[in-house]
Structure 1
Amino acid sequence: MASGDYRKDDFLEESRMDSGINSYCSILKSGDQQRECSGEPSEPRDTFSAVEERLDSAYASSSLTVESLAEIVKGLTFDTKEAPATSPGISEQEENILTSITDDGDTILHLAIIHEDTSIAKQLIQLFPKEVLDIQNYLYQSPLHLATYLNLTEVVKSLVDKSISVELQDSDGNTALHVACHHGLTTCAAEMTSGMSPGKLALVLETQNWRGLACLHLAALSRQHQIMKLLMANGADLNIKEGTSGKTALHLAVEIHDTTSVKLLLSGGANVDAAMFNGCTPLHLAVGRQDTAIANLLCQSGADTKLRNVEDETALDLADGNNDILALFPFDDIQISGRSVVGVNF
């Protein structure tokens, strides 16, 4: 690979938050308690290695049940108001359990969330420092990603309250907010956006996944109108372009014939004449798809009918003889062989 080449895998390896367990080990150690916290499996780790199936993507069942997970955490009565290092009663075995990672990169918190045990997950969130809460498994999913996928709103809130890193991206480049926007998880999205500082929120809203899609693009593509309203209320850029062809959310809404989203975006101030990389405006797309209703909406919102794409075509050129769409255009825009039809007697 040439020195200038840059691969997605390289970015993931550089950005992955996987060092938190070592940080937690150092927190657990007191002045005279210098137990080693190496990467070698300890006896309690067998509890996790018994998991034969991937849990961090399909959330399938396995030999680790909610009951056995509860048994692992049973008896870990930490005073969460104090740092774990000063909390009494942490044995070496308990430390090994809490700091173990499965073959899939999951911490015990990941597993508690996967098994949808909200109570245990919230206890662990209060116990662990931020470095551990930000650990990503081998699909680069943080606990926040998993809690969002499973719509565990209480867990999402607990994580956000601990100021976790909401900007972390999974193996598809999605932040947890991307996940919420795609699946219409409005409450999870609301918890995340309300818990972020304005600067961090702006960063996440501008972040594109590996398909070049920002949160607003995903919400528009999935017809998630409540999510779109939430993003707009939080200052999302309505004219942000996706990375592959330069479409805005308005272009995407037109493409899928979503009149509700088109109205929502236009009322919010989206640029009706935004151009893709090939110069096509939303009106070009609406006319090309013979969508008279949306073409009319765009025209009523002041769309410029004379704009040309890189093929030197106006939207009218794409009407393909559709009389309903032709009726939307002023007569002085219609030309035959380069001449206006105005004043021509047939």
Structure 2
Amino acid sequence: SQRSGGFLDDFLEDTRTDSGIDSYRSIVKPEDSREPSTDFGGPRDKLFSPDERLDSAYGSSSITVESLPPMVEGCTLSTAEEQQEQICELSEQEDLLTTITDDGDTILHLAIIHEDTQVALELIELFPKEVLDIQNNLYQSPLHLATYLNLTDVVSGLMKKGVSLELQDQDGNTALHVACQHGQMECASGMTRDVLPSMLAPVAETQNWRGLACLHLAALNRQHGIMELLIKKGTDLNIQEGTSGKTPLHLAVELHDVTSVKLLLKRGANVDAIMYNGCTPLHLAVGRQDAAIAHLLCQSGADRMLRNMEDETALDLADGNDDILALFPFDDIQISGRLVVGRNF
């Protein structure tokens, strides 16, 4: 139609082109970005520089937020016949599907970046799945961006078209990782609602380049609702992160997060899970002088006598804390070679 043709002409005229999807997909990921770091003590505040506004092409492309609505003005899908006609026209215009900015963003990426939900949803209906899964030069798919910006309708639209949940960005995060890190509960729900546990497990257990799976990120960022959601979907409660072998329970203990500890224990997390250095959650709780969490772990059956690779039991780390020593029912406890007597165990 004339209106649809105008949309195509405007886009092709206003957008810089590269050699197309095939050449873009041949980009090799930098190997050093795959190496996990031992630094995962807290969430990363931003996925990208604030100046970029999440837009890896912002300032390098002639597409702007002002130009997006006119470009898709003729794309409104009012009837099934018109939709089919426009899809046919898009198929004939291969340049539209292979046109991306210098930094790899498609027009759908840009519509999402500028939070234009209506435009994004119309493009999702028009584009085939292969285009919806294109990753930009930061390896962000449209689903990554929609999740980061909490555009729940766009996430739902993408999921209905069957986009991949397994794609990882430059930090190794899937879109579900992004939701767990930033607390996007509705997005996480939309990505997992109609996915079978057997299909979700490989995504939930994928480690980013810091060695963290989805449940680790949810625990680190105290996203209790998302933790509950993942657990109900069958996520492995005892999955170990890749740098030191901590489970979500270890991480919750380190954060002194009683709510997460109770949630994980209630759902059946292994109270005696060991890190690569042999430490259990009880070792960490006692070492951090957290008597309340140590008590919770003991109530859940934690083995007080397990030794780490330094041949230490949790008791060896008590450092004279009376509240913690009271958890160990022995009458011949020695600390630093001195007999502890007169205590009410």
- The TM-score, its normalising length taken from structure 1, stands at 0.78
Q: Is the 8 A contact 2:97 2:131 kept in 1?
A: no
Structure 2 counterparts to residues 126-145 of structure 1, below 5 A: 126-145=125-144
State the partner residue of 2:43: none
Q: Does 1:310 align with 2:296?
A: no
Q: Give the drift of 1:125.
A: 0.5
Alignment of 1:265-284 (within 5 A): 265-284=264-283
Q: Deviation at 1:200?
A: 1.9
Q: How far apart in 2 are the matches of 1:312 and 1:265? A: 27
Alpha-carbon displacement from aligned partner over 1:142-177 (angstroms, at most 9, x marks no partner):
000000000000000000011110111100000000
Which structure carries more relative contact order (alpha carbon 8 Å, separation 6+)?
Answer: 2
The answer on whether the counterparts of 2:90 and 2:97 sit within 8 Å (CA) in structure 1 is: no
Aligned length: 301
Structure 1 position 206, deviation (Å):
1.1
Q: Do the aligned partners of residues 119 and 44 (structure 1) sit closer, same or farther apart at CA in structure 2, a change above 3 Å counting?
A: closer
Find out whether 1:256 has 2:255 as its counterpart: yes
Distance 1:196 1:327 in 2: 47
Residue 293 of structure 2 corresponds to which residue in structure 1?
294
User: Deviation at 1:85?
Assistant: 7.9
- The alignment yields a C-alpha RMSD, in angstroms, of 3.1
Equivalent residue number for residue 200 of structure 1? 199
Confirm or deny: 8 A CA contact 1:54 1:104 kept in the other structure: no
Going from structure 1 to structure 2, the CA distance change for 1:343 and 1:101 (only over 3 Å counts) comes to: closer
1:333 positional shift: 7.0
Which segments of 5 or more consecutive residues in structure 2 lack a partner in the other structure? 1-8, 18-50
Equivalents in 2 of 1:146, 1:98: separation in Å?
19
CA distance in 1, matches of 2:90, 2:237: 53
- 8 Å CA contact 1:220, 1:228 repeated in 2: yes
Q: Is 1:190 aligned to residue 165 of structure 2?
A: no
2:198 maps to a residue whose letter is G
| Residue 216 (str. 1) matches residue 220 (str. 2) | no
Alignment match, 2:227: 228
Question: Which 5+ residue runs of structure 1 have no aligned equivalent?
Answer: 1-41
Cα deviation digits, residues 156-214 of structure 1 (max 9, x gap): 00000111101111000000000001111110000000132332201111111111101
**Counterpart amino acid of 2:252?**
A
Distance (whole Å) between structure 1 residues aligned to residue 79 and residue 137 of structure 2: 29
Aligned counterparts of 2:234 and 2:83: Cα–Cα separation in 1: 39
Q: Is the 8 A contact 1:98 1:108 kept in 2?
A: no
State the match for 1:108 in structure 2.
107
Structure-2 change in CA distance of 1:98 and 1:299 (3 Å):
same
Amino acid at match of 1:220: A
Alpha-carbon offset, residue 237 of structure 1 = 0.7
Q: 1:146 to 1:277 in 2, by over 3 A?
A: same
- Contact 1:239–1:248 (Cα < 8 Å) also in 2: yes
Residue equivalent to 1:47: 14
Counterpart Cα distance in 1 of 2:316 and 2:63: 62
Aligned to 1:160: 159
Question: For the structure 1 residues 76 and 255, does the alpha-carbon distance in structure 2 shift closer, same or farther, using more than 3 Å as the test?
Answer: same
Structure 2 counterpart of 1:48, one-letter code: T
Give the Cα separation in 2 of the matches to 1:158 and 1:68.
Answer: 23
The answer to whether residue 74 in structure 2 is matched with residue 75 in structure 1 is yes
Displacement of 1:292: 0.8
- Alpha-carbon shift at residue 322 of structure 1 (Å): 1.1
**Bigger mean CA deviation after superposition, 277-286 or 328-337:** 328-337
In structure 2, C-alpha distance between the alignment counterparts of 1:87 and 1:97, rounded to whole Å: 12
Structure-1 separation of matches of 2:247 and 2:281: 9
- Secondary structure at the aligned position of 1:75 is classed as helix
Pair 260,89 (structure 1): closer, same or farther in 2 beyond 3 Å? closer
In 2, the alpha carbon distance for the partners of 1:192 and 1:134 equals 15
Aligned residue type for 1:189: A
Partners of 2:185 and 2:267 in 1: CA distance: 19
CA distance in 2, matches of 1:218, 1:202: 15
1:242-299 CA-partner distances (Å, limit 9, x unpaired): 0100000000000011010000000000000000000000000000001111111111
TM-score of the aligned structures, taking structure 2 as reference length: 0.79
Equivalent residue letter for 1:201: L
CA distance in 2, matches of 1:223, 1:59: 33
